[in-house]
C-alpha cells in the first residue's frame, strides 16, 4: 500500500511537471528563429552612447537564454522584433517642503514592434517603460551605472513576458 502511494505521488508530480512550463509557453515548438534588430537611441533629452547596444544585447540574451529560438539576421525569421529607445530622462520625485527634490528618477521608454510571422494575431506595436530612483545629491552620471542594469532588466523582462507569455 505504501509503495502504491509513493508511485502515485511520483506519477502525479511527473504529470503536473509536463503540463506547466515557466518560460516560452506562448512560443510554439515549431518556431525556430528570431530576429532582434538594434534599437537606435532616439531619446530627445539625454544621450548615453552605449545605451542602444546594451539594451539590444540584453534583449537578445533573454530570448537566447530562455527559449530555444535561434538568433538570426534573416528578415523572414519566425519572430521579428525591432523598435527604438524613445525616452531616457531624469525627473524629480519626492519633493520636500522646501521645494527641493528628495529623490530623482531615471526613466527609460522603448517602443517595440513585434511581428509574429507564424501567428499574426500575436503581433503588436507598443511602448514599455521602466525607472529607478536615486538620491538627489547625486548627478545622473554618478548614479547611472548602478541604475541602468536594473532598468534594462525590467524592460527586457516586460518585453519577453509580452511576447513569450502573452502578457
Q: State residue 15 phi and psi, 5-degree precision.
A: -65, -45
Write the CA distances from 83 to 45, 52, 73, 114, 142, integer angstroms: 18, 11, 15, 8, 28
CATH of 25-164, one of 3.30.160.150, 3.40.50.880, 2.130.10.10, 2.40.30.60: 3.30.160.150
List the domain boundaries for the chain.
Answer: 25-164
Cα–Cα distance for residue pair 81/119, rounded to 1 Å: 14
Cα–Cα distance for residue pair 89/25, rounded to 1 Å: 34
The answer to whether the pTM exceeds 0.95 is no
pLDDT in tens, 25-39: 678 989 999 999 999
Which three cell numbers mark 98?
522646501
pLDDT in tens, 4-27: 667 666 766 655 554 444 444 678
Lowest mean pLDDT among 12-26, 63-77, 97-111: 12-26
Q: What is the pLDDT of residue 125?
A: 98
Going by the DSSP 8-state scheme, the letter that residue 59 receives in this structure is: H
Amino acid at each position: 500500500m505504501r509503495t502504491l502511494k509513493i508511485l502515485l505521488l511520483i506519477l502525479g508530480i511527473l504529470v503536473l511537471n509536463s503540463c506547466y512550463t515557466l518560460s516560452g509557453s506562448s512560443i510554439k515548438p515549431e518556431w525556430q528563429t528570431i530576429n532582434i534588430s538594434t534599437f537606435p537611441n532616439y531619446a530627445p533629452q539625454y544621450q548615453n552612447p552605449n545605451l542602444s547596444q546594451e539594451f539590444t544585447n540584453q534583449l537578445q540574451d533573454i530570448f537566447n537564454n530562455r527559449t530555444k529560438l535561434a538568433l538570426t539576421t534573416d528578415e523572414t525569421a519566425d519572430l521579428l522584433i525591432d523598435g527604438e529607445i524613445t525616452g531616457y530622462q531624469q525627473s524629480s520625485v519626492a519633493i520636500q517642503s522646501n521645494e527641493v527634490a528628495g529623490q530623482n528618477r531615471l526613466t527609460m521608454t522603448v517602443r517595440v514592434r513585434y511581428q509574429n510571422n507564424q501567428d499574426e494575431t500575436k503581433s503588436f506595436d507598443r511602448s514599455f517603460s521602466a525607472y529607478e530612483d536615486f538620491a538627489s545629491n547625486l548627478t545622473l552620471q554618478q548614479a547611472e551605472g548602478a541604475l541602468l542594469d536594473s532598468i534594462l532588466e525590467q524592460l527586457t523582462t516586460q518585453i519577453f513576458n509580452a511576447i513569450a507569455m502573452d502578457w
